[in-house]
């Protein structure tokens, strides 16, 4: 009970900040039931005059609420299907910048994580050079077999896990209450969104997993001449510390420095697009946070990526889906694009393939009347997902993350080369993958894998038969005797349901009373 009151107090505070900064103006009242509309109207009474326009209000409110909510906003930026395209675009600009914690505290964290004094680990260890909500970065030097080397040391912020755990518990409580009070909102799956954020943050706070991401991406791209990533130093890496090679390079948004260094911006823009597509389609594993701050060009003109806290992964089905869709639009084969959706199982079979192809044509034809450098591939995918929603296509998190990453990547490439032809740039990568995986050689490899799988199934047939017999026996018992429900269980269910209803009503009264008190105090 005390925990519920604490969560309620935290959520009331968060709700007041959101209302005060005008973030609730983004909510479409017409999409809410009458009771929720009244609550929204009351909450907006405390809105600050001249709170600002658009989703900038939401960004400001989340920044005021602290690191957990900033991270939540960045997570929502990858879900335009929930917050809307305009809000997602503004949330992309939400800056995860926090004041650094002292070097002495970082030294303590490093020594505890690696079990040795800082002077035994590093020849030099600088003051913090960048700080975010989860970790900060220091520049250091180490001694290796080849000589001295400059490295980047990422250190998790002290107490960050406890802070995120408290805020996530409050978010879970708010999501449950929201689902109970606004049943129509369940389709947005608010509790599932919070759990997805919790998993994402848990991964991001274990720097060993980020080191593994660097290692996997490096392995995938070791033969790519125009792309590289830092090398992790595993002996100087733990849950709270990540050490990688230092990157000396020019940020991709520093156009003046790129020009001064004599690099070809047109070629760099092409490398950005083709590298991303290779990682997504060829490898099924891509950097999902490729904003300009995480991309550099090194002294040899190669593209270098850093910060691997957010990664995306695509299975073979999703990779084929993406490749065939892009190629279908390039060739104006809308029927094939529609068929790919049905073959992947993304669109329910009760819909007509021909009707779906007609809807896709409405997206594809207008782009062929425009110059190649005016066509946005990311916008095309956004429109495609809007159309598929009309045909009951369920939201696919991995595809939404892919689409949002493509929006950012395309923006980076077009900043380097405003006349970039996305189609000509993408076509070689897409065509090569399709020829390799869907051509004769690819079909032969698929057949070989299928035979190997079939052989394994045949070998397991005796065990499968025994399991089937046990399941059928249990099913016969249930059919004959029925499912008995203990009376104590029935009573407990009734008590839990009654308690939940009482808490819901109490929460509404507390919220209304809090807003009334705030209004009476005359907030300016």
Other CB atoms closer than 10 Å to residue 195's CB: what's the count? 15
Residues 6 or more apart whose Cβ sits within 8 Å of residue 453: none
Q: Which residue has the higher pLDDT, 128 or 7?
A: 128
The model's pLDDT over 81-113, given as tens digits with 9 standing for 90+, comes to: 566 666 666 676 666 677 899 999 999 999 999
Q: For residue 302, is it left (φ>0), alpha (ψ between -120 and 50) or beta? A: beta
Other CB atoms closer than 10 Å to residue 509's CB: what's the count? 9
114 and 236 Cβ atoms separated by less than 8 Å: yes
Residue 35: which H helix or E strand, with range?
Answer: helix 34-43
pLDDT at 524: 47
The model's pLDDT over 40-52, given as tens digits with 9 standing for 90+, comes to: 777 777 777 665 5
336 and 324 Cβ atoms separated by less than 8 Å: yes
Residue 358 phi/psi, 5° resolution? -65, -40
The model's pLDDT over 19-33, given as tens digits with 9 standing for 90+, comes to: 777 666 666 666 566
- Which neighbouring-strand residues pair with 244? 152, 232
pTM: 0.72
Judged by DSSP in three states, 245 sits in: strand
CATH of domain 97-167+204-246: 3.30.200.20
List the chain domain ranges: 1-95, 97-167+204-246, 249-438, 444-478
The model's pLDDT over 132-144, given as tens digits with 9 standing for 90+, comes to: 888 999 999 999 8
Q: Which residue has the higher pLDDT, 337 or 180?
A: 337
Other CB atoms closer than 10 Å to residue 359's CB: what's the count? 16
Q: In the predicted model, what is the mean pLDDT of residues 175-191?
A: 70
pLDDT band at 155 (very low <50, low <70, confident <90, very high): very high
pLDDT at 134: 87
Give the Cα separation of 250 and 247 in Å (integer).
Answer: 9
The model's pLDDT over 465-482, given as tens digits with 9 standing for 90+, comes to: 777 777 777 777 766 666
What is the biggest distance separating any 2 CA atoms in the chain, rounded to whole angstroms? 82
Pairing between β-strand 147-156 and β-strand 135-144 as defined by DSSP bridges: antiparallel
- Which neighbouring-strand residues pair with 238? 241
Closest CA to 217 of 309, 131, 283, 144: 283
The model's pLDDT over 188-212, given as tens digits with 9 standing for 90+, comes to: 677 777 887 788 788 888 999 999 9
Give the Cα separation of 420 and 374 in Å (integer).
Answer: 9
Worst-scoring range by mean pLDDT, 168-172, 234-238, 443-447, 458-462? 443-447
Taking the CA atoms of the chain, what radius of gyration do you get in angstroms? 27
Spell out the alpha helix ranges (H) of 31-102.
34-43, 56-65, 67-76, 80-83, 85-91
Residues with a known catalytic role: 289
Statement: residue 322 has pLDDT above 50:
yes
């Amino acid at each position: 009970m005390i925990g519920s009151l604490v969560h309620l107090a935290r959520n009331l505070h968060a709700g007041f900040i959101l209302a005060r900064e005008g973030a609730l103006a983004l909510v479409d009242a017409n999409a809410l039931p009458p009771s929720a509309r009244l609550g929204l109207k009351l909450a907006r009474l405390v809105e600050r005059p001249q709170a600002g326009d658009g989703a900038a209000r939401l960004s400001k409110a989340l920044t005021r609420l602290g690191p957990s909510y900033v991270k939540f906003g960045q997570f929502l930026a990858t879900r335009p299907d929930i917050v809307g395209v305009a809000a997602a675009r503004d949330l992309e600009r939400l800056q995860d910048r926090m004041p650094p914690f002292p070097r002495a505290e970082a030294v303590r964290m490093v020594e505890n994580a690696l079990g040795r004094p800082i002077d035994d680990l590093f020849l030099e260890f600088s003051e913090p050079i960048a700080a975010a909500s989860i970790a900060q970065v220091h520049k250091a030097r180490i001694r290796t077999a080849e000589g001295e080397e400059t490295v980047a040391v990422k250190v998790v912020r002290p107490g960050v896990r406890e802070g995120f755990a408290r805020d996530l518990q409050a978010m879970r409580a708010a999501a449950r209450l929201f689902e109970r009070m606004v049943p129509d909102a369940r389709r947005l799956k608010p509790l599932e969104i919070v759990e997805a954020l919790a998993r994402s943050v848990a991964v991001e706070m274990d720097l060993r997993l980020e080191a593994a991401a660097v290692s996997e991406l490096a392995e995938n791209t070791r033969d790519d001449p125009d792309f590289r990533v830092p090398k992790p130093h595993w002996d100087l890496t733990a849950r709270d510390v990540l050490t990688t090679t230092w990157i000396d390079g020019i940020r991709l948004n520093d156009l003046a420095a790129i020009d001064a260094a004599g690099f070809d911006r047109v070629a760099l823009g092409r490398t950005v697009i083709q590298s991303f597509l290779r990682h997504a389609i060829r490898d099924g594993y891509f950097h999902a946070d490729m904003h300009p701050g995480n991309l550099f060009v090194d002294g040899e003109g190669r593209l270098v990526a850093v910060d691997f806290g957010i990664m995306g992964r695509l299975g073979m089905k999703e990779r084929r889906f993406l490749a065939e869709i892009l190629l279908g639009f390039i060739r104006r084969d809308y029927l094939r694009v529609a068929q790919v959706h049905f073959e992947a199982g993304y669109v329910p079979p009760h819909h007509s393939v021909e009707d779906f192809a007609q809807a896709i044509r409405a997206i594809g034809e207008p782009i062929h009347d425009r110059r190649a450098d005016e066509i946005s591939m990311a916008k095309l995918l956004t429109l495609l997902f809007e159309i598929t929603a009309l045909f009951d296509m369920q939201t696919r998190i991995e595809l939404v993350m892919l689409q949002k990453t493509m929006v950012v990547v395309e923006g980076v490439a077009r900043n380097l080369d405003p006349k970039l032809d996305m189609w000509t740039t993408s076509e070689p990568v897409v065509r090569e993958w399709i020829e390799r995986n869907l051509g004769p050689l690819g079909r032969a490899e698929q057949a070989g894998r299928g035979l190997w799988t079939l052989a394994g199934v045949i070998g397991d047939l005796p065990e499968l038969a025994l399991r089937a017999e046990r399941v059928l026996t249990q099913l016969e018992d249930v059919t004959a005797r029925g499912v008995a429900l203990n009376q104590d269980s029935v009573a407990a269910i009734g008590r839990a349901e009654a308690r939940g209803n009482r808490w819901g009503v109490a929460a509404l009264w507390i919220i209304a009373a809090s807003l009334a008190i705030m209004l009476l105090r005359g907030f300016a």
